[in-house]
Amino acid sequence: MRVARTAYEYGKCPSGSAPQFALEVQITQTISLLQARRLALARAGLLKPEWTGFPLRAGREQRRACYSVIGRFGYLQLDTIPIAGARSHALVLLSRLPGLNPELPESLLRPRAQVFEYWGHEASWIPMELYPVFAFRRKEYRSRTPWWGRVLQEHRAAASEIRRRIRNEGPLRAADFEDKSDRNDWGSSLSKRVLRSLWWAGDLAVRERKSFQPYYDLTERVIPESLRKRQTGERDAVKILLLKALEGHGWASVRTLVQTWRLTGRQPLIKACLEELRSDERIVSCSCDDQPGWIRPEDRELAARLERIRPRANTGVLLSPFDPVLWDRARVQKLFAFDQVLEIFKPAHQRKYGYYCMPVLAGDRLVARCDVKAERKTGRLHVLATHYEMKPSRQAVASALTRHASALGLALTPDTY
């Protein structure tokens, strides 16, 4: 359906602060909530393989299968919390690749890997071919790094010493530089701030992680020379990132596209890039339930086909609270009528659902949420609480918990689900 009207797209920071931009968009197509929801799941790899393009199981080439999932989104967000039996980046892959070795995701970043670690959506593993695309961000962070300001300009001697030690000693952890002096309000020492700033600026790269601790090395010893020499201009980089965001989301508002890569503060550039992509027929403007947004032409066709499928509602899968489908709370509320909350940082008595509450996807709906805790010593997965969003969904929840426990090699305790 084509319409001729003008709408405005407002972008907000995740914290709900003042709008970052307002873009006037000429809407040309519409998509239903059902289509947008199913398209989001298909592009996220959470429907049947014929709709996602992902394998039915991880198979023999498990590392390659993991890289294919990361390539779809353009990032795999990292998080440290392993209480559910694995950290978030492993949970995202396990939810999409049945049969995956649960230990494999922790070793995806290693020498000569197909991913590098950088600030993409958040701290993330990103396909190696996108390294030149983030040249604009590395340039920005040479003068001012997030949260800490002009660290490299104000502490040149410390930066030189860190580079010297890594050049001579090889890859080092933050703990190898740790000192008790000059800690800031977050408890971060000067050496850690300088080390992270060198990583943000591109002078250093994360070579690998061991026990989830990053080992920093000189960038020339981690990133292939052919990619280091290529420097994608900011305009082209933003267009690449907007397209990559749409590849993972299906349909998305401008706010979602911007926040996928933390591109706030670039209103004129974002507007120009979207218009150029539309002019090149790479994207089309498309509204969903009166909210303006964008979609790739091939995904508009896929969305129409997905409206006729019947997703199985009696089997479920647990999703990491940091899953690419879930981090945008406003989008989750719109597409799934589901209030996605993260209560990790709340005191226990203020939590409504639990410390590490994982939504349960069944068919194309989020039907429940489970607070789970893994005990490696006893080999058991405990279900601390289950909250149902709709009924009947007990069978779906049971299958999701069984699948999660089995994937991790744990025994499911018959607790509260």
Residue type, position 33, single letter: L
3-state DSSP helix/strand/coil % of the chain, to nearest 5: 40, 20, 40
Residue 375 Cα distances to 220, 326, 345, angstroms: 41, 26, 21
**Given a cut of 70, is residue 18 above it in pLDDT?**
no
- pLDDT-based confidence at 309, cuts 50/70/90? very high
What pLDDT score was predicted for residue 25? 52
- pLDDT-based confidence at 5, cuts 50/70/90? very low
- Averaged pLDDT, 160-177: 96
pLDDT digits (tens, 9 = 90+) for 63-117: 999 999 999 999 999 999 999 999 999 999 999 999 999 999 999 999 999 999 9
pLDDT digits (tens, 9 = 90+) for 233-279: 999 999 999 999 999 999 999 999 999 999 999 999 999 999 999 99
What is the pairing mode between strands 316-318 and 357-362?
Answer: antiparallel
**Given a cut of 80, is residue 141 above it in pLDDT?**
yes
Give the 3-state secondary structure of residue 328: coil
Percentage of residues in the chain having pLDDT higher than 70: 90
**Given a cut of 60, is residue 368 above it in pLDDT?**
yes
Q: Are 384 and 354 in contact (CB under 8 A)?
A: yes
**Given a cut of 60, is residue 1 above it in pLDDT?**
no
- Averaged pLDDT, 320-327: 98
What pLDDT score was predicted for residue 56? 87
**Helix (H) or strand (E) run with residue 252 in it:** none
Which residues have C-beta within 8 Å of that of residue 383, sequence separation ≥ 6?
370, 371, 372, 401, 412, 413, 415, 416, 417
Q: Is the entire prediction scored with pTM above 0.85?
A: yes
Residue 348 Cα distances to 79, 88, 345, 352, angstroms: 20, 21, 9, 9
Between CA 227 and CA 237, with CA 233 as vertex, the angle to 5 degrees is: 80
pLDDT digits (tens, 9 = 90+) for 198-227: 999 999 999 999 999 999 999 999 999 999
- Averaged pLDDT, 122-128: 97
